[in-house]
């Protein structure tokens, strides 16, 4: 179906096609990148796996009353979405120390945070997505204060829902990244982008085995198996 639609944008993990003035189709790719594009590769079946996982999680979030761009999955690699203008902020939601936070403070990965921590990065490949404060966001006019308050509120609710879903299947949600956008049709702020092993840190509850993109970033091997394990634990099927 995507061959007939106009390509609007090609990102690192997805291609966005125009469906109508208010809707787009996102096609998930197998390409994998890390460290601001310095590391490139491909993960077998990643497009299909992430499309299925992200579709499922967005469906759950829609059910829980969190407004999202997700309408439905249309085929193995594609989903139909509400068209949004993406706010150029990455929202990092953290339950445990890991990755850049562990490095910054010299705290061992896997140490529990006393409370959920939200951090922000400015979405800019040219600048390498620098970490920014809420004051930066408002001063640079990246969004309004009321939108930032809503982003924080939704992000904490998303965290509650996702932690529960993953905990139930023996997975610890260490941290994750969210993106928000303004819906073209309604002008509402809604959750956008994807939620998948590419954008979350997911550790086995018992063994702490990493089931996410750190396997690619850190050359840990068995990447496809780890992504598949997340899919299967969520009781989803490769189809």
Residues in Cβ contact with 120 at an 8 Å cutoff, skipping those fewer than 6 apart = 89, 90, 91, 92, 131, 132, 133, 134, 136, 137
Taking the C-alpha atoms of residue 102 and residue 148, their distance in angstroms, rounded to an integer, is 25
Is 80 strand, coil or helix? strand
Q: What is the 3-state secondary structure (H, E, C) of 24-60?
A: EEEEECCEEEECCCCEEEECCCHHHHHHHHHHHHHHH
Q: What's the closest the beta carbon of residue 26 comes to ligand UDP, in angstroms? A: 16
> Using the rule CB under 6 A, which residue among 26, 57, 81, 92 binds ligand UDP?
92
Element (DSSP H or E) covering residue 79: strand 78-82
Closer CB to ligand UDP, residue 74 or residue 196? 196
In the bound state, the residue with its beta carbon closest to ligand UDP is 99
53 sits near ligand UDP (criterion: CB under 6 A): no
Q: What's the closest the beta carbon of residue 139 comes to ligand UDP, in angstroms? A: 22
For the beta carbon of residue 72, count every other beta carbon within 10 angstroms. 10
Phi, psi for residue 128 in degrees, rounded to 5: 75, 35
CB 190 within 8 A of CB 155: no
100 sits near ligand UDP (criterion: CB under 6 A): yes
Q: What's the closest the beta carbon of residue 239 comes to ligand UDP, in angstroms? A: 26
Site string for ligand UDP, 102-131 (x = CB under 6 A): ---------------------------x--
> Using the rule CB under 6 A, which residue among 43, 200, 223, 228 binds ligand UDP?
200
Q: What's the closest the beta carbon of residue 131 comes to ligand UDP, in angstroms? A: 8
Closer CB to ligand UDP, residue 50 or residue 199? 199
Closer CB to ligand UDP, residue 74 or residue 174? 174
Residues in Cβ contact with 147 at an 8 Å cutoff, skipping those fewer than 6 apart = 87, 180, 189
Q: What's the closest the beta carbon of residue 87 comes to ligand UDP, in angstroms? A: 15
Which residues are at the interface with ligand UDP (CB under 6 A)?
90, 92, 98-101, 129, 175-177, 199-201, 213
């Amino acid at each position: 179906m995507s061959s007939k639609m106009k390509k609007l944008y090609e990102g690192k993990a997805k291609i966005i096609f125009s469906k109508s003035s208010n809707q787009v189709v996102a096609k998930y790719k197998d390409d994998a990148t890390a460290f601001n594009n310095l590391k490139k590769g491909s993960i077998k079946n990643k497009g299909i796996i992430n499309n299925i996982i992200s579709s499922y999680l967005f469906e759950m979030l829609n059910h829980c009353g969190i407004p999202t761009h997700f309408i439905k999955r249309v085929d193995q690699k594609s989903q139909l979405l509400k068209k949004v203008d993406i706010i150029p902020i990455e929202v990092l939601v953290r339950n445990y120390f890991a990755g850049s936070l562990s490095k910054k403070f010299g705290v061992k990965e896997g140490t529990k945070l006393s409370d959920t921590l939200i951090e922000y990065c400015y979405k800019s490949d040219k600048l390498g997505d620098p970490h920014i404060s809420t004051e930066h966001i408002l001063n640079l006019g990246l969004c309004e204060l009321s939108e930032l308050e809503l982003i924080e509120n939704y992000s904490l609710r998303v965290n509650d829902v996702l932690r529960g879903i993953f905990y139930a299947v023996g997975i610890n949600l260490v941290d994750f990244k969210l993106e928000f956008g303004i819906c073209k049709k309604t002008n509402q702020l809604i959750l956008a982008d994807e939620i998948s092993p590419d954008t979350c840190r997911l550790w086995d509850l018992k063994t702490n085995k990493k089931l996410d993109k750190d396997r690619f970033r850190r050359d840990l091997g068995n990447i496809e198996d780890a992504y598949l394990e997340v899919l299967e634990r969520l009781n989803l099927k490769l189809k």
